[in-house]
Amino acid sequence: MPDGNVASITQQFGELRTVLETKHNEFVKLVEKANTEIQQHGKITEETKTLLADVGKKAAELDQRLAHIERIALKPVDQREVQLADSPGGMLTKSQSYKDLIEGRTTRARVSVKNLIVSGTGPNVPVGSVYIPPQFATPQPGPVLPVTIRDLIPTGRTTSNLIEYVSESGYTNAAAIVAEGAQKPESSLLFQMKSSPVVTIAHFIMASKQVLADAPMLESYVNGRLIYGLKRVEEAEILNGDGTAGHLSGLMHNATAAAAAPPGDATAVDAVGLAAAQILNAGYNPNGVVMNPTDWMGLMLVKDTLGRYIYGNPTSTTPVPIWGMRAVPSYAMAAGSFLVGDFIVAAQIWDREDANVTASSEDRDNFIKNLVTLLAEERMGLAVYVPAALVKGTVPIGAASGALAAGLAAGVGGREDAARREDAARRNGNK
């Protein structure tokens, strides 16, 4: 857009904002007048009703014009026609209950959002539908590490507060070749009744009413902290919940320990491979491995004696599998530990109540401080059907991070062709 047009649009933007603020002040005064009339006469006069309707209509028209200028004039040309999906904050600010809240018709606003499955290569926070002009944009605060363990596990829905399920506790396969007339062998399959509570994960933050009136800033609050905060705790519970009151019985709590310790010169890759073999021997198909980011990056940094990466590729956007399994680096996994599993068979997540956001001015002394409480919560359970399909282990001592890289690289170097190493050394000596 030419500079002259930009200047013109900017001027219109400022004028519209001024008029909108004026109409808002008029509206506030009329609301105060209407409240006085109700106290004195038990109803609002027709004159006041007409004035309220006129101001509201004019404010809505100005708001639409202002939004139109923001979308068309300030967005890049190649983005003007893009339809963006609503984020949790966008869903809240577009809801009728939110409009009722800012217009004083209610003291609470609530909207539910579906659980967000975030891929390891995708954006950490969904893109919102409310455009923030550059001069009003604020940086996204805090860490936004992807949460991905949920991606490995099937999900379902429940209407119960307690998940009751049957877990396989033992299986003896006695199938055999049977001679004619002989008795067939009997196999045994043992089950155990288990239950898992539906837990509540929640937290809240405080915001001023000025922030509440600024939709883009409100979206930043909701997306950047509340929803993501729930998912951080959810991931930790799915992986490490100890099954005590109020907690999930997590994957690590139910997993079978690695049957055999790797040899003394083993690396993390060896330990993961042995755990995968244990799952295969149990009759399941290992399809994922969860590691601490430090241990996972230790694998990706391993090089041979020529400086070539063995597993990782700094220029690749494709996740690198380990023994054909999807590698999931998770902050929730303790450094030095890992989990291998047939996650599709082993467990299932049960969502009781999707993540929802509630805004309320009725909390403690919010009214006298012009504050609003923004609350996010969700309810979910976890059922671990086949513990034998999950194997947990530890990274061999001295194999983590840099030590892991050095040890594995030395092993690869030891298998290099001697003649090629001697030739490379001779060339380097001639330089």
Closest CA to 309 of 199, 412, 159, 177: 412
Q: Residues for the chain: how many in total?
A: 431
Backbone conformation region of residue 283, classed left if phi is above 0, alpha if psi is from -120 to 50, else beta: left
Q: What is the pLDDT of residue 177?
A: 96
Q: What is the pLDDT of residue 198?
A: 92
Pick the range with the lowest mean pLDDT from 27-36, 91-100, 308-317. 91-100
Q: Whole-angstrom Cα distance, residue 105 to residue 48?
A: 17
* SS3 assignment, position 14: helix
pLDDT band at 138, cuts 50/70/90?
A: very low
Q: CA torsion, points 101, 105, 107, 108, in degrees to nearest 10?
A: -60
Q: What is the pLDDT of residue 225?
A: 78
Highest mean pLDDT among 167-171, 320-324, 372-376, 407-411: 320-324
Pick the range with the lowest mean pLDDT from 161-165, 216-220, 411-415. 411-415
Closest CA to 108 of 372, 299, 420: 372
Instruction: Give the Cβ contact number of residue 175 at 10 Å.
Output: 8
Burial 190-229 (b: 16+ CB within 10 A, else e): eeeebebbbbebbebeebeeebbebbbbbbbbbbbbbbbb
Q: What is the mean pLDDT of residues 403-420?
A: 41
pTM of this structure: 0.60
Is residue 5 pLDDT above 60, yes or no? no
Q: What is the pLDDT of residue 121?
A: 34
Closest CA to 211 of 369, 17, 11: 369
DSSP structure class, residue 129: S
Alpha-carbon distances, residue 325 vs 221, 288, 394 (angstroms)? 36, 5, 17
Tell whether domain 149-172+185-410 is in CATH 3.30.2400.10: yes
Q: What is the pLDDT of residue 286?
A: 95
Q: What is the pLDDT of residue 187?
A: 94
Q: What is the pLDDT of residue 175?
A: 94
Higher pLDDT, 7 or 277: 277
Closest CA to 69 of 20, 105, 24, 25: 20
Q: What confidence tens digit (pLDDT) does each residue in 41-59 have?
A: 777 787 877 777 777 677 6
Q: Are strands 162-172 and 188-197 parallel, antiparallel or unpaired?
A: antiparallel
The helix or strand, by DSSP H or E, that contains position 112, with its residue range, turns out to be strand 108-112
Please give the single-letter amino acid code of residue 238: I
Q: What confidence tens digit (pLDDT) does each residue in 319-328 have?
A: 778 899 999 9
Alpha-carbon distances, residue 162 vs 141, 200, 355, 362 (angstroms)? 36, 12, 18, 31
Reading the block at residue 158, the tokens are 């429940």
Is residue 399 pLDDT above 70, yes or no? no
Q: Which residue has the tokens 């062709």?
A: 417
Q: Whole-angstrom Cα distance, residue 366 to residue 372?
A: 6
Q: Whole-angstrom Cα distance, residue 400 to residue 295?
A: 6
Is residue 4 pLDDT above 50, yes or no? no
Q: Any bridge partners for residue 192, and if so which?
A: 167
Q: Are strands 155-157 and 347-360 parallel, antiparallel or unpaired?
A: parallel
Is residue 308 pLDDT above 80, yes or no? yes
Is residue 156 pLDDT above 50, yes or no? yes
Closest CA to 379 of 401, 409, 350, 406: 350
Alpha-carbon distances, residue 81 vs 77, 129, 255 (angstroms)? 8, 12, 49
Q: What confidence tens digit (pLDDT) does each residue in 237-271 have?
A: 999 999 888 899 999 999 999 987 777 778 888 99
The helix or strand, by DSSP H or E, that contains position 240, with its residue range, turns out to be helix 228-240
Q: Can you give the residue ranges of every domain in the chain?
A: 3-82, 149-172+185-410
Highest mean pLDDT among 161-175, 335-349, 363-377: 335-349
Q: What are phi and psi of 376, to 5 degrees?
A: -125, 140
Is residue 14 pLDDT above 70, yes or no? no
Q: What is the mean pLDDT of residues 318-342?
A: 90
